[in-house]
Structure 1
Amino acid sequence: MFPGTGAQHARMAAGLYGREPVFTDAVDAVLDPLGRAGRAARADWLTREPAPPLDADVRAAPLLFAVDYAMGRLVESWGVRPAAYLGHSMGECVAAVLAGVFSLSDAVMLLWERVRAQRAVPPGGMLAVAAGAAELAAYLGDGVVVGAVNAPRHTVLSGPERALRAVERRLASDGRTSRRLATRTPYHSPALDPVARKTEVLLRTVGLHPPALPLYSAYLARPVRPEDALSTEFWAAQPTAPVLFRPTLERLLGDGDRMLVEAGPGRSLTVLARGHRAVRSGHSAVLSTLPARSLGPEEDRRAVRAARERLAAEGLLGGEPGHSGVLPVDLSVP
């Protein structure tokens, strides 16, 4: 599982850079093609006082993509053979690269062009609310929409800054718990329609392929079919469409017992998956590969060692028999 916008934090997985060759090479493969922007993002990632902060798209987008992709490559380098991929928001693009839909170079180019186009989007944000989507109908409007459905009582609202702040105040006065996500962009809302239109033009210039392995889409709440993978409209619309993570997880776990592996920073998807009845009952399991927050280089490395040991104990390394492995692409997800 690959987390999306909001999962990023300062020095996420930085303890692996320069120590894990597969991880290091994969990060460089994402950032090096971006030239000066990639070098600046890497420098901010490796420092203790990043500037601009990681809620700025010019830093958050390339670094989150790089860490997700590098963690996916690292886990697979151990001999894990995924049965399927699942991503949350941007994480779905990472999943699509590993599933063979996009080349890495095309995906990085599209990512950066989206970042550039988003500069024209009015300021906004995303708000995680401890409530079901149906409960929040009265708070919608004035550009504020449901941006993600993550769990039965975990919904993300997205919209322009002024309207979202008004909703935040109303929720507080009504006694509802909410939390702003680390982004200044109203992802998964109509505010990004202009970005989607520009992206579709770019998508017509890249090669698209059916997934070589099952790819579950959190926009469709089902596996991606060949016609979906080849659709420029499908990929272009993702910044504006709601993330249906919970329904997609339902479908994924309904299709069979799984060992879910969160390959990316934080443990937001792990927390969401632990609440699912299939995991609570023990029929499926979930494993994070990194700490919930930055605790220093050694803790990054300890978390990776522990994840590898768990996968080895389950018989999932080197093609050994065991549960089907799942590497899934916004709370720290949206």
Structure 2
Amino acid sequence: MTPSKHRSVVLMLPGTGAQHPRMALGLWRREPVFTDAVDAVLDRLGPPSKEIRDDWLADEPAVPLDADSRAAPLLFAVDYAMGRLALSWGLRPAAYLGHSMGEVAAAVLTGVFDLDAAVRLLWERVRMQRSTPSGGMLAVAAEERELSGYLGHGLVVGAVNGPRHTVLSGPEPQLRAAEHALRADGRTVRRLATRTPYHSPALAPLVADTEELIARLRPAVPRTPLYSAYTTRPLRPDEAADAGFWAAQPTRPVLFWRTLDRILRDGDRLLVETGPGQTLTVLARAHPAVRAGRSAVVAMLPPRAAGEDADRSCVAAARALLADEGHLPFASSPAPDARTR
């Protein structure tokens, strides 16, 4: 990758499905900023925090990490902590892009929510989701328009992640039937690591109660541009402060590819995936601007659990690239966006 000092940095934070056991464990108790940030999230959960932390550290969690009570807090904690770590190097991102839960973590890093508010919101959603129908999400190697015949009865397009990377979401019976039909038609499909039909009408009952909660939490205008994968553009001040906007997110599709395209049309970028796995990195590498070399992408963590040395090596490589491109101009100290209000 040829260094290009005119590229601005965009932090990309992954969402549901990116979590996996022992994610980022190589940084635990080795990187103080990362460790403190994870603890700051988990400690705010109260009594469940010990069991959640134990399942994160375990080779075989007692509660699988695709359960809401594990996926939501742990994915948020690692996204947030990786963002704090990058900012502690003196990095000043030009913008943020979050995918699903990653947009909430980005909202904390940009000052829309303080950490107390965000953790309260995500844990309240976990509690309320226990009453929603079981379901899930299904990644399909197809364009959105090719899947209209498989939709209906609560099954919808939950995300458009790439030109031929569409995610269906809905209740379990409809999702299972669609999966069988798609496989019979020769389509490549993959279940995502979640038991909840995120970004579908199944979560509509959560909206009213969470809107009341978010209004009390008083979201603010982001200090750094935050591109929303629900609107495909930077959040306007009125949207950022609108409780209804945040409350409706679990029912709205994630338009990641269109948002990424807007970001890369707005300038040449160094995209940094700041969370577990490399899902967003793989998607971004397919974009014409990245293939042409005008923009570039790097992941801060390996694509899967590969040992603690792999976690640290990946972080070191990402930091070296940021330094090579001139984005780490001074000694490590928390950047303004990293503060907890």
TM range (shorter): over 0.9
Given the alignment, which residue of 126, 133, 136 partners 1:122? 133
Percent of aligned pairs sharing the same letter: 67
Which residue pairs with 2:77 in the alignment? 66
Give CA deviations for 1:186-224 in whole Å, capped at 9, x if unaligned: 000000001122211111211211111100000000000
State how 1:12-23 maps to structure 2 within 5 Å: 12-23=23-34
Determine the C-alpha separation between the residues in 2 that align with 1:44 and 1:235. 29
Which residue pairs with 2:97 in the alignment? 86
Which residue pairs with 2:285 in the alignment? 274
Could you tell me which amino acid in structure 1 is paired with residue 239 of structure 2?
A: D
Cα shift at 1:319 = 6.1
Which residue pairs with 2:116 in the alignment? 105
**What is the root-mean-square deviation of aligned Cα atoms in Å?**
1.2
Cα shift at 1:318 = 2.6
Given the alignment, which residue of 34, 45, 51 partners 2:56? 45
Question: Retained in 2: the 8 A contact 1:38–1:62?
Answer: no
Give the match's secondary structure for 1:239.
helix
Give the match's secondary structure for 2:153.
coil
> How many positions carry a matched residue from both structures?
321
Q: 1:224 to 1:319 in 2, by over 3 A?
A: farther
Determine the C-alpha separation between the residues in 2 that align with 1:259 and 1:11. 27
What TM-score comes out, normalization by structure 2 length? 0.93
- Misfit runs of 4+, over 3 Å: none
Given the alignment, which residue of 264, 272, 281 partners 2:275? 264
Cα shift at 1:60 = 0.7
Unaligned runs of at least 5 residues, structure 1 = 321-334
Given the alignment, which residue of 294, 308, 323 partners 1:312? 323
Give CA deviations for 1:42-61 in whole Å, capped at 9, x if unaligned: 11111111011001000110
Which residue pairs with 1:249 in the alignment? 260
Determine the C-alpha separation between the residues in 2 that align with 1:277 and 1:319. 33
Which residue pairs with 1:164 in the alignment? 175
Which of 271-280 and 195-204 deviates more?
Answer: 195-204
Which residue pairs with 2:306 in the alignment? 295
**Is 1:236 the counterpart of 2:228 in the alignment?**
no
State how 1:130-209 maps to structure 2 within 5 Å: 130-209=141-220
Could you tell me which amino acid in structure 1 is paired with residue 211 of structure 2?
A: E
Could you tell me which amino acid in structure 1 is paired with residue 199 of structure 2?
A: H
Could you tell me which amino acid in structure 2 is paired with residue 205 of structure 1?
A: R
Unaligned runs of at least 5 residues, structure 2 = 1-11, 332-341
Which residue pairs with 1:25 in the alignment? 36
Give CA deviations for 1:65-95 in whole Å, capped at 9, x if unaligned: 0000000000111111000000000000001
Determine the C-alpha separation between the residues in 2 that align with 1:189 and 1:219. 13
Determine the C-alpha separation between the residues in 2 that align with 1:47 and 1:265. 16
Determine the C-alpha separation between the residues in 2 that align with 1:180 and 1:198. 29
